[in-house]
Structure 1
Amino acid sequence: MVVFNKFFTSVVLAAVFAASSVSAAPWPASSKHATHRKRSLPNGVTFETFHPASSLETFGAGLDHPLAKSASQDLKDAAVTFVTERLNIEASAVKHRTDSATDIITNAFLTQQHDNIPFANAVANVAFKNNKIVSFGHSFVKPTSIAASTPTVSVEDAIAAAEKKLDGKFNDHPPTLEFLVKEDNSVVLTHVVQIQNEEAGTWFEAFVDAHSGEVVSITDFVDEASFRVIPIERNSVNDGFQTIQDPADLAASPNGWNNDGSPTTGNNVITFKGTQSSTTEQSGSGNQFIFNFDASRQPSFQANLDAARTNAFYVVNTVHDFTYRYGFNEANFNFQNDNFGRGGRGNDRVTVSVQDSSGLNNANFGTPPDGQSGQMRMFLWDRTNPMRDGALENDIVVHENTHGVTNRLVGGGTARCLRGLESGGMGEGWSDAMADWSEKTSSAVPDFSPGTYVINSSSGIRSFPYSTSSSVNPLTYGDLSRLDEVHDIGEVWANILHNVYAALVGAHGWSATARTNPNGTQGNVVHMHLFIDSLQLMPCNPTFLSARDAWIQADENRYDGANRCTLWRAFASRGLGVNAANHRDDSSVPSGC
């Protein structure tokens, strides 16, 4: 749960044992931030999960791909051939899974397999620009042993074991058969099933040994986050409501937000309390949602509840629209019921449970794979009287929604690739950084403290404000050596990105139209492009170092490296210089910077 220096419940663990460099040796203890995650579940069960360290190579202007001179120009075949040659493995061990594309690059996502059965989280991603390979991330392994490919435990028995272990029920999502890599690089065969407990707010992907019947690992999908609303650039009700006419960006939401004349429900999101039939109706004809919030009354007061559902609907739709503009669209695994024939899997709009009864002083977001709805739960906060509603603090809603963005984009829509301790920490950091970006109103870069409204304190609920001043926020990359909780680690990453943002805005200025116009050259536009682009370049379960390198390569891809030195100086100012390694600070920058 949240304490005063922690933001929402942690980006939950993953239990998928992705692999990393192709090595037969166990992973050293020094890499535990990248490879392990320990979590105690609500029913008292504890899992320590293992994720073999991933790797990322970036290639600047790019390498010729293996089929560049052949008659075939199929990037799927080129990606498979590149991976087999780069890792010196058989072609039968690699399978193309899916593609995604932005306006400048195409990403091929591949899986490692044995006997045509995929390895859970043993994935590779190859990025192409102008028919050249610009980056390669992977988490493939060379197993020391591998289980038989035919199960001896039935899927029905596996489901029963998972339901008992995880205190929930099978949700009828089709089970799969996948291999899972363990810490000693042995590989077990598993039935993979989804288990949910709606009352407790839990949602797991369970990996059940298909020969022993033991639950050997889990992925926890839950990340612990005209309309009269709080405008997106404002923080909370303390900054005032405003009636906004027609806020939908039709380039991102072509049928608008309330495309069927309905209450707080549409193609991108539905907000409700209790059940999905309990939405907020229009206050007047023509999609009018005008409700007067009364701060002296409890959140359950009808006008306050309607204001909360309306505000959450507005914020989630707004984030949908501006992240769509920067590349989080249908083909790149976003959340929509109707994908309009533009790729990806539909029927997965975000569901937002406002004033959810399963908790207090918190919020969370459950991110399943593309094609299943993201589930946001917003709680009440009892630090004040009357209580306060997290749905009325925009940075909380943006934070939680961003878990869906990052979990979908890293790893190509599987929602399995931010589940290690360090990568999960970056997930928390990205969520704070997105909230930080969304609330800027000028070229000024003031300190930013999330969570001020719900606890009624200007200090918010982080250890330090995010700041360009080391005296205000002293956190650096080296602090990871003493931190072992995702929100603490996330504070380091969010503060680094706050400094990156300040450097880019300082160099290029600020655009007031960045949320609807991604074509500008201003620093906040550049920052959001690199934010979204870099996510698609990262390997499964990235580290701070591979994430930094992905930002540098993303700038090469989109801006021909124009911001290379600006980025390096900003990263180095917080310890992520050229020679940073093993959670030891370095402030050096490349020659020429």
Structure 2
Amino acid sequence: MTYSRRRRGLLAVTAVSAATVLAVTAAGGATAAPSAGPGEGKAASAEKNLSKERKGNYDARTPNAKTTYNRAAKVAGKESAASEKFRNSLGTQGVVELDPNTGTPAQVTKLNGFLTGRSAKKATDVALGYVKAHADVFKLTTADLATLKLRKDYVDDLGTHHIFWSQVVDGTEVFGNGLKANVTKHGELISIMGSPVSGLTSQAAARSAAPAVSADQARTTAAKDIDGTAKSASSKSSGNTVIWSNGDQAKPVWFHTADGLRKGWMTYVNAGGTKVYTHVIDAQTGGLLYRKDLNSEAGGDALVIDNYPGAPSGGKQHFENLYYEKWLPKTAKSLLDGTSVSAFADVNDDNQPNAGETVKIPGTKTGAEYKLVPFNSNPLCSPTTVCTWDPAKPDSWKTNMNEDVTNGFYLASNYHDWLAKPPISFTPAAGSFDAAGGDPVLLNSIDGAATAANGGPDANHINNANMSTPPDGIAPTMQMYLFGSPGDDTTVATSSSNSAEILYHEYTHGLSGRLVVDAGGNSTLNSIQAGSMGEAWSDFYALDYLASHNLEKDTVANGEMRIGRYDTAGGTIRTMPTDCRVKAKEAACVGVDGSQGGYTYGDFPTIGGSPEVHSSGEVWAQALWDLRERFGHTYALSIITRAMELSPADPTMLDMRNAIVQADLVASGGKNAGIIWQVFANRGMGWYAGVIDGGDSFPAEDFHIPPTGKAVTLTGTITDKDTGKPIPGALVYIGGHASGFAGGYTSTTDAAGKYKITNVAPGTYPKLVVASPGYELAVNPVTVKTGGTASYAVRRNWAAASGGGTIAAFNGPDYSDNACGPDGAIDNTQGLGWGSTTGDDDGNPTNVMIPKHIDIKLPSKLASIDSFKVDPSPVCGDAGSSSTGQYKIETSADGTTWATAQAGTFTAANRGKYNVLTPTGNAANVQYVRFTMLSPQVPDFATNCPAGNYGGCQYTDMTEIQVFGKK
């Protein structure tokens, strides 16, 4: 999410919540740990305490990336005969994804054709006509259709209409739910998406009580949730939206969860620095419903640089008139406040252009202004890698401050215009950043350059860059830091505003953040799969620009396209160049593990040593470069960009592969589908590749193109492993082809434990998933042939609430309103968990851990317990160090007398998976189990708390405990 200068093992804290990232790794047989934050895990000592750990994303609608499995099983089990007939009519490449909360489609489409034929009707009428014609599928009544309000209908450069309807009742919009449709210029319906709410009007009528929480209170709560403070500012109302003078906003929304409709406040809060988030706060309770980290970490005569100072091509300053290029309006006289960018030097990082931080418009009567002054700061400084400041000299950044801000303004303005042109066509209608639309890029050059006592940047404002991307109409913030530090001879001492690749990387986060959205226009790049593609797109578009403008050399050889070439003096901040083909022989194309050649999908969790968005995204970036080599830069950019607009919310890499196939269907009639499938199959993203959902850090790769054999049916029986009895109501689906969790390639077992998945293309699928309330999640490979069968026996998890387990007692605070209560530890998923405090109940950081425990009452007394499974990972977006470290498990027959059954210490290597623990004693005659968190995973706890920047100093969490045994 950030640009991230950190190398192997030194992994940036991501904006993806731990709960989302870790949701399914145990099911996939994970052994690697998720990425460590600064100062955590192996190889992190070089950056210890560099930055405060960030809170990640949270969504009460879909806490484990897409859903909890029992909801999905209920939705799939209610499928009508008419709905099944409709799904089968789409063929083996049809996609029907049902939302587990609403029961309505999150996506309906097909990969090898359109949903409807050509039509001369309006695009909106084509889409709504299809919805009305398939009422059994979409479940929208006439009253429901009346709640749809057309929000946007724009046409891309291929002539495709992208249409968005919000759902509105009583003047208030439903957050995220609605309808999206994509219709070709010939009137063919490509897809319908959006998860609309059925019965919205009646649900709203039942929630007529006035909000108990004000807009101001919601803003304050949101800022506090991210460990910030709402800035003192005046406010005014614009319609039903409250806007504060510092840019913060709050507006009322409806928020639909599995428990029904809630009133909420949607807030946009900038709490200083990189704390820029969107929240939805419950308007009745003040609890957290949604948190989205918007930050993505990575006369006019001016002297500017097209690449970086000293680059062989584009490395020399040249003249550019900012008025002539229409980047500055003619009314601008003194500040770099342009048509799409507003730039200043935010040296104190308060996100405001204070005195001494603004730069006057360059140009005098005698010529252009702001000539770059080179520095000789360290051995990497040279004529081909020019240094622009000296980290060892206080305030040395002031020498080139004017040049730095001006160059950043130039690069961002230029890239804005480039993205607006075909084949990318990122226009105002599509959500581009423009002053006329009220959302120019607020570019903070040399951000935080004066935050340290010595007149330089502190550790939080070095070697990085980031961009926040709020919804259309709210200005994003781009923060460009200085690179280099005293005594660091591995980094060119420069500024990220002087590096085109860094700035373009950050700006592209804005492109993907505005195009991969829900019906309400909110970015949905939430899970590790989607977040990894976000980083990959940023690398790809930046490198594509440089290569297509001959600023970087791109030949048939491998290993030339390197992100970070300037600040590493010829190296790369990734593990491998982006243009490394599979089985490439060049020395640059060697992975961290010593393997030769470019990456494939199965490398996702190991590219950087463990799953992490920057390194895991490299496989996607390389696949996109393969498309560029096969189709050329123009057509590749076209279908890659159009695919973002066609993608479902929070896509996996397989979802986005499908969207690219669809984009080619629109652009060429599908004549390139075979080549596209071969490109992705070569990278392990073939037809049989498998993922459980967007949070799956351990995808299964496959190298096959779509089969052509006749569709078959898969049947089987799901039973209890201990009793042999059938399990009814179990969800069974083929990962990667399940169309989410409820739709094609999905079934629910009947009373006899039998399931039937129809319309399956024959072959071997690596992830057949069995999920049932009260039972462990099972993932197994399956081969589907004519009349194929696959039966499985799964074990009862006696602690699961869905199987009768209850929380009998607990100590510490109750964060149930924020979906972090003790019940989360026994919800049988790795999406939710139990979050508590480290010290006192208020979460004040101290050097003392107050042990926190939960007591679980099992539904039956067990004669013996043979194992526990525990995932000690953090929840609710807390940082990695909030994971449980030292722990103790006790058992009891009556809930009064306790004895130790197991004890030990978890480390970062235990995160993100179920750890099997065998009792060492006291495992007989048990009806109560107590789990106690004795410490968080903060390194050197006594030293680092409270002074250190570790989330574990305040909060200690765990995700899940499971109990297995026999009655």
What band does the TM-score fall into relative to the shorter chain? 0.7 to 0.9
- In structure 2, what is the Cα distance between the partners aligned to 1:175 and 1:555? 40
Amino acid in structure 1 at the alignment position of 2:627: V
- Structure 1 residue corresponding to 2:124, chosen from 41, 55, 76: 76
Higher helix share: 1
Contact residue 687 and residue 706 of structure 2 kept, 8 A: yes
User: Is the aligned partner of 1:563 residue 2:672?
Assistant: yes
Structure 1 vs Structure 2: percent identity of aligned residues? 22
Q: Which residue of structure 2 lines up, in the alignment, with residue 163 of structure 1?
A: 223
User: Is the aligned partner of 1:470 residue 2:583?
Assistant: yes
- Residue 462 of structure 1 deviates from its aligned partner by 1.2
- Structure 2 residue corresponding to 1:99, chosen from 136, 143, 153: 153
- In structure 1, what is the Cα distance between the partners aligned to 2:125 and 2:9? 46
Q: Which residue of structure 2 lines up, in the alignment, with residue 509 of structure 1?
A: none
Secondary structure of residue in 2 paired with 1:556: helix
**Greater Cα offset, 300-309 or 549-558:** 300-309
- In structure 1, what is the Cα distance between the partners aligned to 2:11 and 2:447? 14
User: Is the aligned partner of 1:175 residue 2:254?
Assistant: no
Contact residue 56 and residue 539 of structure 1 kept, 8 A: no
Amino acid in structure 2 at the alignment position of 1:154: V
- TM-score normalised to structure 2 length: 0.51
- Residue 354 of structure 1 deviates from its aligned partner by 0.8
- Structure 2 residue corresponding to 1:296, chosen from 376, 386, 401: 376
- In structure 2, what is the Cα distance between the partners aligned to 1:56 and 1:532? 20
- Residue 443 of structure 1 deviates from its aligned partner by 6.0
1:6-45 equivalent positions in 2, closer than 5 A: 12-13=15-16, 42=52
1:168-567 equivalent positions in 2, closer than 5 A: 168-169=229-230, 172=244, 173-181=248-256, 188-198=262-272, 200-225=273-298, 227-231=302-306, 234=307, 237-239=310-312, 241-246=315-320, 255-257=326-328, 259=330, 260=332, 264-274=336-346, 275-276=352-353, 278-285=358-365, 288-296=368-376, 298=389, 300-325=396-421, 326-338=424-436, 346-357=437-448, 359-383=461-485, 384=488, 387-411=493-517, 414-440=521-547, 441=550, 444=555, 446-447=558-559, 448-454=561-567, 456-466=568-578, 467-471=580-584, 472=589, 474-480=598-604, 484-504=611-631, 523-567=632-676
Q: Which residue of structure 1 lines up, in the alignment, with residue 109 of structure 2?
A: 57
- Structure 2 residue corresponding to 1:138, chosen from 191, 194, 205: 194
Contact residue 501 and residue 542 of structure 2 kept, 8 A: yes
Contact residue 13 and residue 38 of structure 1 kept, 8 A: no
- Unaligned residue ranges in structure 2 (runs of 5+): 39-50, 68-105, 232-242, 347-351, 378-388, 391-395, 449-459, 592-597, 692-698, 709-967
- Residue 201 of structure 1 deviates from its aligned partner by 2.6
Q: Which residue of structure 2 lines up, in the alignment, with residue 21 of structure 1?
A: none
Q: Which residue of structure 2 lines up, in the alignment, with residue 341 of structure 1?
A: none
Contact residue 57 and residue 292 of structure 2 kept, 8 A: no
Contact residue 58 and residue 291 of structure 2 kept, 8 A: no
Secondary structure of residue in 2 paired with 1:205: strand
- In structure 1, what is the Cα distance between the partners aligned to 2:446 and 2:521? 29
Q: Which residue of structure 2 lines up, in the alignment, with residue 588 of structure 1?
A: 704
1:58-106 per-residue CA deviation (whole Å, 9 max, x = no partner) reads 465533389x58xxx4433443443453423335445233222113111
Residues 38 and 187 of structure 1: CA distance in aligned 2, closer, same or farther (over 3 Å): farther
Secondary structure of residue in 1 paired with 2:115: strand
Amino acid in structure 1 at the alignment position of 2:429: A
Q: Which residue of structure 2 lines up, in the alignment, with residue 343 of structure 1?
A: none
- Residue 331 of structure 1 deviates from its aligned partner by 1.1
Residues 92 and 480 of structure 1: CA distance in aligned 2, closer, same or farther (over 3 Å): farther
- Residue 8 of structure 1 deviates from its aligned partner by 9.3
1:129-169 per-residue CA deviation (whole Å, 9 max, x = no partner) reads 11111233334577999983544422243333223323131
Residues 194 and 42 of structure 1: CA distance in aligned 2, closer, same or farther (over 3 Å): farther
- TM-score normalised to structure 1 length: 0.80
- In structure 2, what is the Cα distance between the partners aligned to 1:39 and 1:115? 44
- In structure 2, what is the Cα distance between the partners aligned to 1:39 and 1:137? 35
- In structure 1, what is the Cα distance between the partners aligned to 2:305 and 2:196? 46
- Residue 556 of structure 1 deviates from its aligned partner by 1.9
Q: Which residue of structure 1 lines up, in the alignment, with residue 71 of structure 2?
A: none
Residues 371 and 11 of structure 1: CA distance in aligned 2, closer, same or farther (over 3 Å): farther
- In structure 2, what is the Cα distance between the partners aligned to 1:56 and 1:566? 24
Contact residue 555 and residue 561 of structure 1 kept, 8 A: yes
- Structure 2 residue corresponding to 1:121, chosen from 165, 176, 189: 176
**Greater Cα offset, 485-494 or 136-145:** 136-145
**Greater Cα offset, 212-221 or 386-395:** 386-395
Contact residue 163 and residue 182 of structure 2 kept, 8 A: yes
Contact residue 56 and residue 538 of structure 1 kept, 8 A: no
- In structure 1, what is the Cα distance between the partners aligned to 2:574 and 2:15? 19
Contact residue 139 and residue 540 of structure 1 kept, 8 A: no
Q: Which residue of structure 1 lines up, in the alignment, with residue 212 of structure 2?
A: 153
* Equivalences, count: 545
- Structure 2 residue corresponding to 1:574, chosen from 675, 679, 683: 683
**Greater Cα offset, 202-211 or 108-117:** 108-117
**Greater Cα offset, 204-213 or 306-315:** 306-315
- Residue 585 of structure 1 deviates from its aligned partner by 1.1
Contact residue 154 and residue 162 of structure 2 kept, 8 A: yes
Q: Which residue of structure 2 lines up, in the alignment, with residue 4 of structure 1?
A: 7
- In structure 2, what is the Cα distance between the partners aligned to 1:189 and 1:160? 17
Amino acid in structure 2 at the alignment position of 1:438: Y
Secondary structure of residue in 1 paired with 2:675: helix
Residues 282 and 157 of structure 1: CA distance in aligned 2, closer, same or farther (over 3 Å): closer
Contact residue 37 and residue 421 of structure 1 kept, 8 A: no
Residues 43 and 290 of structure 1: CA distance in aligned 2, closer, same or farther (over 3 Å): closer
Residues 425 and 534 of structure 1: CA distance in aligned 2, closer, same or farther (over 3 Å): same
Amino acid in structure 1 at the alignment position of 2:188: K
1:372-400 per-residue CA deviation (whole Å, 9 max, x = no partner) reads 11110011122546732122222110110
- Residue 177 of structure 1 deviates from its aligned partner by 2.6
Contact residue 11 and residue 35 of structure 2 kept, 8 A: no
* Cα RMSD (Å): 3.9
Q: Which residue of structure 1 lines up, in the alignment, with residue 962 of structure 2?
A: none
1:210-229 per-residue CA deviation (whole Å, 9 max, x = no partner) reads 22111233111111136433
Contact residue 349 and residue 373 of structure 1 kept, 8 A: yes
- In structure 2, what is the Cα distance between the partners aligned to 1:399 and 1:8? 18
1:405-428 per-residue CA deviation (whole Å, 9 max, x = no partner) reads 111122278342212222122111
Secondary structure of residue in 1 paired with 2:503: helix
Residues 37 and 60 of structure 1: CA distance in aligned 2, closer, same or farther (over 3 Å): farther
Secondary structure of residue in 1 paired with 2:220: helix
1:496-530 per-residue CA deviation (whole Å, 9 max, x = no partner) reads 212221222xxxxxxxxxxxxxxxxxx11111212
- In structure 2, what is the Cα distance between the partners aligned to 1:7 and 1:438? 28
